[in-house]
Amino acid sequence: MDHIQAAKEIVRRHCEAFDEATDDQLEEIGGKSLSDRFFWRGMHPFYEIEGAASVIQTFWRPLRRSLTSLQRREDIFFAGENDVDGGASVWTCSMGHFMGLFDNDWLGIPATGRMAFLRYAEFFKIENDEIVESAFFCDLIGLMHQAGCYPLPPMTGSNFVYPGPRTHDGLQFGPVTPDETIATLALVNRMIEDLSSINHMDDYLCPPDLLARTWHDDMIWYGPCGIGASYTITRYQEQHQYPFRLNLTDKTYNGHVARIAEGKYCGFFGWSNLRNRNKGGFLGLPAAQESAEMRIVDIYRRHEDKLAENWVFIDLPHYLAQQGLDVFARLKELRRLPA
């Protein structure tokens, strides 16, 4: 699997140089590893951007001006052949937090002058020793929560600075036994099939034993801020799965752009993964007439023959905007309210 190792080295070199560069050096560093046809996908309000220079100008420079002394605190890194296209492409997956001093407002989120953690997941596609595509998800609502201007109803789960893997083995820089990779990917695909089989049954409360086929009883689901994290199958169902199943209807699964595994880790993202329609109540929204798309990242850790941990990113600002709720406009209103 020399090509997997080569892809990891390309991405690691790029990220190390990019993270340590000054603002004036970013285009130069990007030009060494990012393709001339580099294509970037980002959260609302950024969306799709072509060209490294445009991504740097639109996203990275404003972020670095806001979160000064920025550090990448990586918890998971792995790579693999894309299961979606039969292994024709190779992607890497990185997950953790960007940590900095929140010194200047960003996207209308008020600076605090204190440490802030921006939770992220980043995928890179490598072709001919270049990075040609990327998808960058981050928890903007989580940053609002840290700044004291949370724009949504109370969460059903808990929100905090999520840890990396319990086993502390998420940074897979070296080669991994292929058998482990095969087992992890097969398990995740089996889990997807189980859940897909009941997606059309809106009022069907998934029994715990269906999840227990592929999940440990003490599983941890680290959901996006707005939903929160849950621990154990029972609490996960109570705090996320059942509200999701009962308050959303007309679910359509669109598939993934990339789904990769290496060792005991697997990750995927979609653009979008699925569509659904809010029947009323989910995230405090009223009933909707039209469906809305959800762009989602899932990253998993397998322990023995079942899944143990799952880190989830959902572009909730985009999902909410499709239904008439602009969280950034609401943020402005919250900031105008008297203390």
Give 217's pLDDT tier (boundaries 50, 70, 90). very high
Q: Where are the alpha helices (DSSP H) in 112-177?
A: 140-146
Tell me if 123 sits within 8 A of 135, measured CB to CB. yes
Q: Which two tokens stand for residue 117?
A: 């953690």
At residue 52 the predicted structure's pLDDT band, cuts being 50, 70 and 90, is very high
Span 218-230, mean pLDDT?
98
pLDDT tier at 1 (50, 70, 90 boundaries)?
Answer: low
Which pLDDT belongs to residue 138?
98
Altogether, the residues listed in the chain come to a count of: 339
Confidence of residue 331 (pLDDT cuts 50, 70, 90): confident
Question: Which domains does the chain carry?
Answer: 2-146 (3.10.450.50), 178-328 (3.10.450.50)
Let me know: does 108 contact 12? Beta carbons within 8 Å: no
Contact 322, 315 (CB under 8 A): no
Which segment of 5-19, 228-242, 280-294 scores lowest on mean pLDDT? 280-294
The answer, yes or no, to whether residue 339 has pLDDT greater than 70, is no
pLDDT above 60 (res 111): yes
The radius of gyration of the chain from alpha carbons, rounded to an integer in Å, stands at: 20
Q: What share of the chain is helix, strand, coil (3-state, %, to 5)?
A: 30, 35, 35
pLDDT tens per residue, range 112-140:
999 999 999 999 999 999 999 999 999 99
Residue 79 burial (C-beta neighbours within 10 Å; 0-12, 13-18, 19+): buried
Instruction: Identify the pLDDT of residue 332.
Output: 83
Sheet-wide strand order for 130-138: 47-50, 34-42, 130-138, 115-127, 90-102, 67-81
User: Does an H or E element contain 20, and which?
Assistant: helix 2-20
- Sign, CA torsion 40/46/48/50: negative
Spatial CA neighbour of 311 closest among 321, 297, 322: 297
The pLDDT of 37-55, averaged and rounded, is 97
